A and B are shown apart, each in its own frame.
Chain A
């Protein structure tokens, strides 16, 4: 992770996967996100860190327009994925979310069988022509999520019956099943114990080969372990963004330094 060659970390900024420009988010009268500009590299892990209420989750949710489900939320500025503005009126947020998957803070498997949980997305989007194809998608998603060995004999059992860590990996498998290009993770390990956390982190590292991953985390160690680039948010402002190693060893901004050395937050 951190010992990767410097060359790869300094990927050319022009072919970034997601690029945000002067993004503002308002909740009613509250100005929650101010002037955020960020470029997110493809096939890498970007971590958002910052104290509680700094807007990192809010910003994450603008990337797949999950904030649209809240009536009082307004977003300004532009966010482009592969050069296409996702807030363009022509863009269907429902389609966008199939392309930009999301994993939530608390594991939230549906009260259905493990199989149906993973098959949910493919069924909605008609990704499989027949049962055999669907079986393949479910199996490969579970394999990619590292859950196949544990789940293959109990596909008909409810997903809610699994342990917390397994549930979270099931949710990752569920997100992978619709073949997204980007996966957003909102503190995916905050409800898990250290062993389950380690497994999920390992999984995130493997998924980096095929997906662009953005992860919000409260744990700076986790950010350091899994991410290639890190962005530090504070009071709705993107304070500093750069290669993870630089942020943690040689932060430019005083606030970043204070935060990572534990002086506040």
Chain B
């Protein structure tokens, strides 16, 4: 039975359970709602919860565990002789799965009968021929052991699925029975449902945290693998970035310094643009602008935040780059070779970050109590004096936090760099030179045919890990600053 059907059945049981539980609870109170401990809907929800939660837990666990068990027992059927030179048991198992899927599809199309597919004595040549007839992709010839393994795989999976359906439905029914048994007037259904909701929220929070942990784990594993192939010292202190794909990357020089330099240089330019403009915009919006201007200007500014970064990249490539070249290029100041440069990417990234800085700063400035402003105006201060001497100092921790968050954004930005700053890893002080960043290089190392056994591809993980540590550090510092100085006014 397909899993979708199973889910629908469980949900149907839950709905029926809800109605029955509600009715049973009402009946147990003689139809008088006031005698129930909880509202009738809580009794229904309690039943539905007891149907859905265990059934779905079992379903998920079963779906996770069954392939492991099946693969294990099928893998035992494949003799070592079947595993060709340079291949691995994993590849052969993939072949088995492909054959099994082919059989499934052939049966579904009615080209072969279920009995034939299961027939242990079936001739593998015949099967191959029939599978090809059915339009199923079968690599070369299916050998006898692979056919046997595929047949066993199908049988095991079918049995497993059948048992899973039974168990899940039984669990659902048992849950319904349990919930219905509980549906009496004095049962505290409301409190039980409350606990269920708490568990739901906790699981949502833990999924987010566990995913982060999983991402970090996969980064760490691959980074360690990279450092086994390439010396860490050369990676962190090497001044040259020149990956070569020949000789499985053995001759590459993979120093991160030029990439980090490009990253920080571009981020610095971006922040130099975004921080003053964003901050002044925030001060204007929160202190000077009337409610009407504010109602229009703030959403407009925030539209900037909704523009996809690739569009900013195009803007850099097609507008800002040529504009800068016309001023600083060979016909002008002569210090800019082409449109792709640190300045191009930095300016455009700065524009991208303006709403980020202004929106966060605006919220923070608005959070400064009106009493501070009154106190300052009451002493005869003008608006700008008040902003400069009272509001900005009071809001400073939050603003610093906002700037650091913007900095992490800038460091992690990719598309604008790819299109605006070029791809040359270079250590240069000239902001009109093309440079590149860590993120852009991660993309270029992994696009195309990546061989994940060579340092040239694995370096992407080390780069990602470094970037992750840097932005994590920035975020921690930002949070620390915000928290430390937050209680200065109440």
Contacts and interface: CB of A to CB of B under 8 A. Distances in A.
B374 interface: yes
A253 B393 CA distance: 50
Closest 5 CB pairs of A and B: A98-B380, A102-B378, A108-B371, A111-B488, A97-B380
Interface on chain B toward A: helix, strand, loop, or mixed SS?
helix
Contacts of B389: 110, 120, 124
A54 B393 CA distance: 36
A74 interface: no
A158 B371 contact: no
A99 B371 CA distance: 20
8 contacts: A64-B378, A94-B380, A102-B374, A104-B374, A106-B371, A111-B394, A111-B488, A111-B489
B385 interface: yes
A212 to B, nearest CB: 16
Interface stretch (A4-12, A171-179, A198-206, A228-236): A171-179
A104 B369 CA distance: 13
B372 interface: yes
Contacts of B379: 97-98, 101, 120-121, 124, 174-175, 178
Contacts of B490: 160
B488 A97 contact: no
A95 interface: yes
A49 to B, nearest CB: 22
B78 interface: no
B376 interface: yes
B413 to A, nearest CB: 34
Instruction: Give the size category of A's interface with B.
Output: 20 to 34
Interface of B: 290-291, 369, 371-382, 385, 389-390, 393-394, 488-490
Interface string A66-108: 1001010000000000000000000000111111011110101
Nearest to A102: B378
Nearest to B378: A102
A241 B184 CA distance: 70
Given A108-B374, A160-B489, A121 B394 contact: no
Contact of A101 (B376, B378, B394): B378
A104 B376 contact: no
B378 A124 contact: no
A104 B377 CA distance: 12
B291 A121 contact: no
A255 interface: no
A254 B378 CA distance: 36
B486 to A, nearest CB: 11
Interface centre among B380, B381, B385, B489 (most CB of A within 10 A): B380
Contacts of A263: none
Contacts of A175: 378-379
Contact of A94 (B290, B374, B382): B382
A94 B386 CA distance: 12
Contact of B375 (A71, A94, A158, A171): A171
B373 to A, nearest CB: 8
B292 to A, nearest CB: 10
A125 interface: yes
A66 B291 contact: no
Contacts of A109: 375
A112 interface: yes
